[in-house]
Amino acid sequence: MSSTSRLQSAAERVSAAREATEKRGETFYQGPSGIHLASHPPFERWSDWMELDSKAWPTKKERRYALIPTTCFNCESACGLLAYVDKDTNQVAKFEGNPEHPGSRGKNCAKGPATINQITDPDRILFPLKRSAGRGEGKWEKISWDTALDEIAAKLRSSITTGRKDKIVCHIGRPGEDGFTERVLASWGVDGHNSHTNVCSSAGRAGWHYWTGMDRPSADFANAKVIFLVSAHLETGHYFNPHAQRITQAKERGAKLIVLDTRLSNTATHADYWLSPYPGSEGAINLAIANYLIQEELFDREFVRKWWNWQEWLESAHPDLGQDFETFISLLKETYSPYTFEYAAAESRIDKKVLLEVAEIVATAGEKFASHIWRSAAAGNLGGWQISRTLLLINALLGAIATEGGTYPNAWNKYVPKPIYTPPHPDVWNELSWPSDYPLSMNEMSFLLPHLIGQGRGTMDVYFTRVYNPVWTNPDGMAWIEMLLDESKVGCYVALTPTWNETSYFADYVLPMGHSSERHDLTSYEQYDGQWVAFRQPVLRTYANNQGGEVHDSRDVNPGEVWEENEFWIELSWRIDPDGSLGIRQYHESKKNPGAKLTVEEYYEYIFENSVPGLPGRAKAEGTTPLGFMQSHGAFEITNKVGQIFAEVVPENELIETSTTQLGRVYTSAAKPVSTNIVPTGDPDPDSSGKRPVGVVVDGEIRRGFPTPSGKLEFYSKTLAEWGWRDQAIPNYVKSHIHPDMLESNQMVLISTFRLPVQIHTRSANSKWLDEIAHTNPVWINPIDAERLSIEETDLIRVNSEIGYFVAKPWITQGIRPGVVACSHHMGRWKFSDTTNSLTMRRVELNSEGPKRHLLPKSPPKPYTSSDPDTSRFWWNDVGVHQNLIFPVHPDPISGMHCWHQAVSVEKAHSGDEFGEVHVDLDKSKAVFERWLKMTKAAQEVSPDGTRRPRWLMRPLKPTKRASLLRPTESLQ
Partner 1 sequence: MTRYMTTTLLAQAEVAIALAEISEGVVPSAALLDALGIDRSGCEAINALLVSELPPFASIYLSLDGNIGGESQAEIAGFYRAISVKVPPNPDYLSSLLYLLGQIIKKEAEVVDGETARSRAIEIAKLTLLRQHIAPWLVPYLQRAEQIAGADASVWIALTLDLIASILESSEVPTPKQPIDEDLDQSQIESFANSVEFIDWITSPLLSGVIVAPSDLVSIAKSLGLATRIGRKRFVLEGLFQQGGRELLAAIGQFVAEQGDLYLSRSSEFEVLQSWSKRAIITHKRVLATLAPY
* Radius of gyration over every alpha carbon of the chain, rounded to an integer in angstroms: 28
| Phi–psi pair at 812, nearest 5 degrees | -85, 120
Query: What is d(CA 294, CA 332) in angstroms, rounded to the nearest whole number?
Result: 8
14 binding partner 1? (CB under 8 A)? yes
Residues whose CB is less than 8 angstroms from the CB of residue 823 and which lie 6 or more positions away in sequence, other chains included: 750, 751, 752, 777, 778, 779, 780, 799, 808, 881, 883
Minimum CB separation from partner 1 for residue 16, in Å?
7
The closest of 823, 819, 785, 789 to 807, measured between CA atoms, is 823
Rounded to whole angstroms, the maximal C-alpha distance in the chain is 98
Minimum CB separation from partner 1 for residue 241, in Å?
17
| Complex with partner 1: residue 38 or 743, whichever CB lies closer | 38
Q: Which of 20, 56, 321, 656 binds partner 1 (CB under 8 A)?
A: 20
Amino acid at 797: I
* Helix (H/G/I), strand (E/B), else coil: 308: strand
Query: What is d(CA 290, CA 400) in angstroms, rounded to the nearest whole number?
Result: 13
Q: What is the DSSP string of 635-677?
A: EEEEEE----GGGSBPPGGG-SS-EE-TT-EEEESSPPPP-SB
In this chain, which stretch among 2-10, 139-147, 670-678, 773-781 interacts with partner 1, using CB under 8 A? 2-10
| Complex with partner 1: residue 46 or 587, whichever CB lies closer | 46
Q: Report in angstroms the alpha-carbon separations of 76 from 385, 425, 516, 526.
A: 21, 25, 12, 11
Length of the chain: 973
In this chain, which stretch among 3-11, 207-215, 474-482, 869-877 interacts with partner 1, using CB under 8 A? 3-11
Minimum CB separation from partner 1 for residue 269, in Å?
19
CB atoms within 10 A of CB 937: 17
The closest of 771, 745, 736, 757 to 870, measured between CA atoms, is 771
Minimum CB separation from partner 1 for residue 110, in Å?
18
In this chain, which stretch among 17-25, 570-578, 728-736, 802-810 interacts with partner 1, using CB under 8 A? 17-25
In this chain, which stretch among 1-9, 298-306, 403-411, 546-554 interacts with partner 1, using CB under 8 A? 1-9
Cis ω on the peptide bond leading into residue 58 (within 30° of 0)?
yes
Stretch 245-304 residues interacting with partner 1 (CB under 8 A)? 249, 252
Q: Which residues pair with 749 in a beta bridge?
A: 820, 903
| Complex with partner 1: residue 18 or 301, whichever CB lies closer | 18
Minimum CB separation from partner 1 for residue 245, in Å?
11
Q: Is the CB of residue 209 less than 8 Å from the CB of residue 684? A: no
Query: What is d(CA 404, CA 316) in angstroms, rounded to the nearest whole number?
Result: 34
Query: What is d(CA 756, CA 473) in angstroms, rounded to the nearest whole number?
Result: 14
Stretch 415-444 residues interacting with partner 1 (CB under 8 A)? none
In this chain, which stretch among 19-27, 123-131, 398-406, 704-712 interacts with partner 1, using CB under 8 A? 19-27
Minimum CB separation from partner 1 for residue 528, in Å?
16
Minimum CB separation from partner 1 for residue 39, in Å?
7
In this chain, which stretch among 4-12, 96-104, 692-700, 930-938 interacts with partner 1, using CB under 8 A? 4-12
Minimum CB separation from partner 1 for residue 64, in Å?
13
485 binding partner 1? (CB under 8 A)? no
CB atoms within 10 A of CB 835: 10
Helix (H) or strand (E) holding 193: strand 193-195
Minimum CB separation from partner 1 for residue 99, in Å?
14
| Complex with partner 1: residue 32 or 690, whichever CB lies closer | 32
Number of residues that bind partner 1 (CB under 8 A): 32
Q: Report in angstroms the alpha-carbon separations of 797 from 778, 811, 816.
A: 10, 10, 17
| Complex with partner 1: residue 84 or 438, whichever CB lies closer | 84
Q: Report in angstroms the alpha-carbon separations of 170 from 132, 507, 522, 748, 925.
A: 23, 14, 20, 37, 25
CB atoms within 10 A of CB 141: 11
| Phi–psi pair at 539, nearest 5 degrees | -70, -35
The closest of 578, 601, 581 to 591, measured between CA atoms, is 601
Minimum CB separation from partner 1 for residue 407, in Å?
24
Minimum CB separation from partner 1 for residue 398, in Å?
26
Q: Is the CB of residue 138 less than 8 Å from the CB of residue 505? A: yes
Minimum CB separation from partner 1 for residue 246, in Å?
13
Minimum CB separation from partner 1 for residue 15, in Å?
6
| Complex with partner 1: residue 24 or 672, whichever CB lies closer | 24
Q: Which of 21, 120, 266, 960 binds partner 1 (CB under 8 A)?
A: 21
Minimum CB separation from partner 1 for residue 81, in Å?
21
Minimum CB separation from partner 1 for residue 32, in Å?
3
| Complex with partner 1: residue 249 or 327, whichever CB lies closer | 249
Task: State the binding string over 204-243 for partner 1 (x if CB under 8 A, else -).
Answer: ----------------------------------------
In this chain, which stretch among 7-15, 629-637, 845-853, 870-878 interacts with partner 1, using CB under 8 A? 7-15
Query: What is d(CA 770, CA 760) in angstroms, rounded to the nearest whole number?
Result: 10
The closest of 348, 243, 219 to 289, measured between CA atoms, is 348
| Complex with partner 1: residue 102 or 439, whichever CB lies closer | 102
Stretch 48-87 residues interacting with partner 1 (CB under 8 A)? 50
16 binding partner 1? (CB under 8 A)? yes
Stretch 22-51 residues interacting with partner 1 (CB under 8 A)? 26-35, 39, 42, 50
| Complex with partner 1: residue 249 or 590, whichever CB lies closer | 249
656 binding partner 1? (CB under 8 A)? no
Query: What is d(CA 636, CA 85) in angstroms, rounded to the nearest whole number?
Result: 22
Minimum CB separation from partner 1 for residue 526, in Å?
24
Q: Which of 13, 353, 592, 788 binds partner 1 (CB under 8 A)?
A: 13
Q: What is the DSSP string of 7-28?
A: HHHHHHHHHHHHHHHHHTT--S
| Complex with partner 1: residue 39 or 658, whichever CB lies closer | 39
Minimum CB separation from partner 1 for residue 105, in Å?
12
In this chain, which stretch among 13-21, 80-88, 116-124, 208-216 interacts with partner 1, using CB under 8 A? 13-21
> Angle 626-633/600-610 helices, nearest 10 degrees?
100
| Complex with partner 1: residue 2 or 794, whichever CB lies closer | 2
Q: Which of 4, 581, 867, 911 binds partner 1 (CB under 8 A)?
A: 4
The distance of Cα 82 from the centroid of its chain, to the nearest Å, equals 23
| Complex with partner 1: residue 12 or 648, whichever CB lies closer | 12
In this chain, which stretch among 14-22, 232-240, 261-269, 897-905 interacts with partner 1, using CB under 8 A? 14-22
Minimum CB separation from partner 1 for residue 59, in Å?
14
| Complex with partner 1: residue 24 or 873, whichever CB lies closer | 24
Q: Which of 11, 485, 856, 972 binds partner 1 (CB under 8 A)?
A: 11
Cα angle at 872 between 871 and 878, to 5 degrees? 75
18 binding partner 1? (CB under 8 A)? yes
| Complex with partner 1: residue 14 or 154, whichever CB lies closer | 14
The three-state DSSP-derived secondary structure of 904-964 is: EEEEECCCCCCCCCEEEEHHHHHHHHHHHHCCCCCHHHHCCCCECCCCCCCCCCCCCHHHH
Interface with partner 1 by CB under 8 A: which residues?
2-4, 6-8, 10-18, 20-21, 26-35, 39, 42, 50, 249, 252
